[in-house]
Structure 1
Amino acid sequence: MAFILSRIFAFFTCCMNLYLIYVGKSAESGGTATNFAGYNPQSFMAARLLFFLYNRSASRDDINRLKDPTQVVFFLEEAVRPGITMKYSFSRNTSTPAMFLPREIAESVPFSSSKLPEILNRFSLKPGSVQADIMKQTLQTCESTAIPGEQRYCATSLESLVDYATAKLGRNIQPISTELEAGAAIQNYTITPGVKLITSADKDRLIVCHKMDNGYAVFYCHGFKRTRAYSVPLQGSDGTKVKAVAICHLDTSAWNPKTYALLEVKVAPGTDSVCHFLPEGHIAWVPK
């Protein structure tokens, strides 16, 4: 457990000196520390998670959330090979990262839509404000119905994130994430030699955890039985290099036929493997 915790801390630099920062901000504000700095509810970063809710029908606003309507979000597994070029956004989230709360604090904060007024009062937020809407959407997403065969969990602390992954996959696991060079932007990226299969859909399982918009760090974790993960090296048209993690879902038979992923790649549920790159700051737990 100690080794896994040390690895995950390395991935989230926002959590350095977490307890000291938390205590300091709480003392200044007299309450629980929150951070909504730089949040834009219409931004592509804010929309990322919506694309990964595979029982959700795509909306007219989805394409408007993209930085470029011609950019790729999802692609078929056959495209995970050297020489393939696609326009993609690996942009960093420039807003100040939300902090993990210590477990004892996170567990004392209600995490239910039915308790939203109490939550808003706890964080001194006004109903109808942007911050309140963030909290509301996060709760609704975490309470939404899972697809048959999908396991879901929203982690509200670092410890609960690690505990969930180890409970589902065992203790011999490691976190992986997309690694970006500074300044990675939306442009054409070409897959270069060196693609590696990380997990096999037949033998291995994995858990993907998506960073959510919230006043404190919350991760939406989910897993499907037939999923592959690849390490994919890419080079942008400006020379920028990215070491991306590609997640490929082999069984999409239970997906909403109108979900954004299937509409983008133009396939019906259960007919092909659908993939996406792991955005910066999101993680996948895989066997060592």
Structure 2
Amino acid sequence: MGFHLPLIFALLSLAAVALANHAAQPAPQLYWNSVLPNTQMPRAISELLHPDSTNEEKSTNITNAVGNGKPTDHKGKPENIPLALIFYNRRYDLPTDNQLDYKNVAIFFLEKDMRPGATTNFQFPRNSNTATFLPRKSAQSIPFSSNKLLEIFNHFSVKPTSVEAKTIKQTIEECEAPGVKGEEKYCATSLESMVDFSTSKLRTRNVQAISTEVLEKGATMSMHKYTTMPGLKKLAGDKVIVCHKQNYPYAVFYCHAIKPIAAYVLSLKGDDGVKVKAVAICHLDTSEWNPKHLAFQILKVKPGKIPICHFLPTDHIVWVPNHKSA
């Protein structure tokens, strides 16, 4: 059999390109491709692996990495309250009505209100935290503990009395706080550890990972009136993992599983014509929630079994099993 040199050279060239592309991929993406080859990576994750040049430049700035550089204020407007506290920390003693400007914003809504034609005022802003993922080995080499705060501050060249240091301390303390009843929580300091936690709790690697996405590039993130379009989809599984991006020098996600819970994907259209693929989480039993929780103030209901729902911001991720594995 003779050698077909042109064919051999072509195959070798293709192999070289494949190896080069493989080598160019960040370690977290390689892990994703290995463990979740059939799971599409949501934008909330892919943007933290391949940031544009603007975000890459910003990520070197510790102020941008941990937030907007302003002191954390749990009072005032809803956007100043950490989302993990609004949505999940039922023990959090929220401010009184006259301290909050939420009357025209659908932070929470009832499950029955997710119907075509329903309108709501909402804002889908991006987190000012531009921090990207570190490979797991790199993240594990940096302490993440309230007992090691000085070492952490020194590592990131942060002054202990600075706003950045307070933000780092708060994030770690929220991660270390005990979970509420029925909550399984974990702070993932790498994409690899987020994948491991989510798949272990769902007991399958046949999963979907979904995030809220504003479908038009360059769309403004200001407040708009959104109309729910036909095509409401309930995601599979009676167990849902939700991961929320935290303010930290590198990407850290507060992940947790709470039962009973349901997840939906809705199609929304803004009054500016912008379309949004929105992920909504509905808590089916709120009997253990703090009676002063913001949801009860907004919806004028009491703790119980009336499902209470909320949209997820664009930098949060929902993990559910695929239908085939449910």
TM bin, normalised by shorter chain, reads 0.7 to 0.9
Larger Rg: 2
1:283 paired residue among 301, 317, 321: 317
Match of 1:230 in 2: 264
Aligned pair in 2 of structure 1 residues 96, 140: CA closer, same or farther (>3 Å)?
closer
Match of 1:179 in 2: 213
Q: Could you tell me which amino acid in structure 2 is paired with residue 53 of structure 1?
A: Y
Match of 2:25 in 1: none
Deviation at 1:147, TM superposition (A): 1.3
Deviation at 1:197, TM superposition (A): 1.3
Distance between the aligned counterparts of 2:135 and 2:177, measured in 1? 25
Match of 1:119 in 2: 152
Query: With structure 2 as the length reference, what TM-score do the two structures score?
Result: 0.75
Identity rate, percent: 46
The answer to whether structure 1 residue 72 and structure 2 residue 106 are counterparts is: yes
Aligned pair in 2 of structure 1 residues 161, 54: CA closer, same or farther (>3 Å)?
same
What does 1:1-288 correspond to in 2, within 5 Å? 2=33, 4=36, 7-8=40-41, 11-16=44-49, 35-36=65-66, 38-40=68-70, 41-42=72-73, 44=79, 47-60=82-95, 69-93=103-127, 95=128, 97-169=130-202, 170-180=204-214, 181=216, 182-199=219-236, 203-288=237-322
Match of 2:15 in 1: none
Match of 1:21 in 2: none
Distance between the aligned counterparts of 2:213 and 2:47, measured in 1? 16
The aligned length equals: 277
* Secondary structure at the counterpart of residue 246 of structure 1: strand
Distance between the aligned counterparts of 2:94 and 2:230, measured in 1? 36
For residues 1-34 of structure 1, what are the alpha-carbon distances to aligned partners after superposition, in whole Å with 9 as ceiling and x for unaligned?
Answer: 526277337542433358xxxxx999x99xx9x9
For residues 103-139 of structure 1, what are the alpha-carbon distances to aligned partners after superposition, in whole Å with 9 as ceiling and x for unaligned?
Answer: 1121122212122122112211111211101101101
Distance between the aligned counterparts of 2:320 and 2:220, measured in 1? 28
Distance between the aligned counterparts of 2:110 and 2:165, measured in 1? 37
Q: Is the 8 A contact 2:183 2:256 kept in 1?
A: yes
For residues 56-104 of structure 1, what are the alpha-carbon distances to aligned partners after superposition, in whole Å with 9 as ceiling and x for unaligned?
Answer: 33433998686x65211111111111121111111233x3621111111
Q: Could you tell me which amino acid in structure 2 is paired with residue 151 of structure 1?
A: E
Which has the higher mean CA deviation after the structures are superposed, 159-168 or 218-227? 218-227
Structure 1 gap segments, 5+ residues each: 19-23
Distance between the aligned counterparts of 1:284 and 1:116, measured in 2? 30
Q: Could you tell me which amino acid in structure 2 is paired with residue 210 of structure 1?
A: H
Aligned pair in 2 of structure 1 residues 185, 222: CA closer, same or farther (>3 Å)?
same
Query: With structure 1 as the length reference, what TM-score do the two structures score?
Result: 0.84
Aligned pair in 2 of structure 1 residues 17, 73: CA closer, same or farther (>3 Å)?
closer
* Secondary structure at the counterpart of residue 172 of structure 2: helix
Aligned pair in 2 of structure 1 residues 172, 113: CA closer, same or farther (>3 Å)?
same
TM-align CA RMSD: 3.1
Structure 2 gap segments, 5+ residues each: 1-31, 52-56
Q: Could you tell me which amino acid in structure 1 is paired with residue 86 of structure 2?
A: F
Aligned pair in 2 of structure 1 residues 37, 210: CA closer, same or farther (>3 Å)?
closer
